[in-house]
């Protein structure tokens, strides 16, 4: 519990420095925030045309031993702590490596990786049930200095291709409708929008207030 609290406080501080107090607070506590649940048929994922910058990087699966030994390092402290927590829970992380630094990470969970996949809180919250060949992707992060130039889209696209090569058939995820960059990353990659969930988050945690059909997101 102390480890989780430390990670959250550190992440809050980092986001305040980057985005300001008011904007960060609005991401932490909200009463009506709409999320769109999305699905990707991985058989539709093809090879990507990568930019010169992305060609100089590589995507690898994060290993706890290597992380603890410092073989690879996060540029952001909270991502390092969060990665340790995720690995302890059995989640799998794909990271984008530039030199020895991890400049982006994205996480997924499936029935292959966790015996009781329902332990991930997002699945029940979003109303998603995974089949044996399904995967749930979550918490993609790209270092601020690396953003732009289509980097987020290329990174997520490369992760989808990696999951396809591992034999997964469908991927699920979600984005908040007020997160315009995330919205466009998912649309550029042709994720199928399934439905929307209105969420609420207080000091007592998150909950789904109601579920709705897709409305045009402008």
Alpha carbons within 13 angstroms on the beta-carbon side of residue 54 total 21
Highest mean pLDDT among 22-36, 56-70, 79-93: 79-93
Hunting for tokens 């402290």 — which residue is that? 77
User: pLDDT, tens digit, for every residue of 89-142?
Assistant: 889 999 988 877 888 999 999 987 766 555 688 999 999 999 999 999 999 999
CATH code linked to domain 2-212:
3.40.630.30
Higher-confidence residue of 1 and 160: namely 160
Q: What is the mean pLDDT of the chain?
A: 83
Tell how far CA 170 is from the center of its chain: 16
- For the chain, give every domain's residue range: 2-212
CA distance 62 to 102: 10
With a CB cutoff of 8 Å and minimum separation 6, the contacts of 49 are none
pTM, to two decimals: 0.85
**Given pLDDT bands bounded at 50, 70 and 90, which one contains residue 162?**
very high
């Amino acid at each position: 519990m102390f480890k989780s609290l430390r990670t959250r406080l550190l992440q809050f501080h980092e986001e305040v420095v980057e985005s300001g107090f008011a904007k960060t607070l609005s991401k932490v506590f909200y009463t009506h925030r709409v999320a769109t649940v999305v699905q990707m048929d991985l058989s539709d994922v093809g090879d990507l045309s990568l930019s010169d910058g992305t060609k100089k990087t590589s995507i690898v699966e994060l290993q706890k031993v290597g992380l603890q030994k410092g073989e690879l390092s996060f540029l952001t402290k909270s991502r390092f702590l969060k990665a340790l927590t995720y690995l302890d829970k059995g989640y799998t992380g794909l990271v984008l490596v530039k030199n020895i630094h991890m400049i982006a990470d994205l996480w997924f969970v499936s029935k292959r990786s966790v015996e009781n996949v329902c332990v991930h809180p997002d699945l029940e919250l979003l109303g998603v049930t995974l089949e044996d060949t399904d995967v749930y992707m979550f918490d993609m992060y790209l270092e601020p200095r690396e953003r732009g130039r289509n980097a987020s889209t290329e990174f997520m696209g490369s992760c989808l291709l990696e999951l396809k090569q591992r034999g997964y058939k469908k991927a699920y995820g979600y984005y908040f409708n007020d997160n315009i960059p995330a919205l466009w990353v998912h649309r550029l990659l042709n994720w199928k929008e399934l439905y929307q969930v209105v969420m609420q988050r207080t000091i007592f945690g998150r909950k789904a207030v109601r579920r709705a059909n897709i409305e045009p997101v402008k």
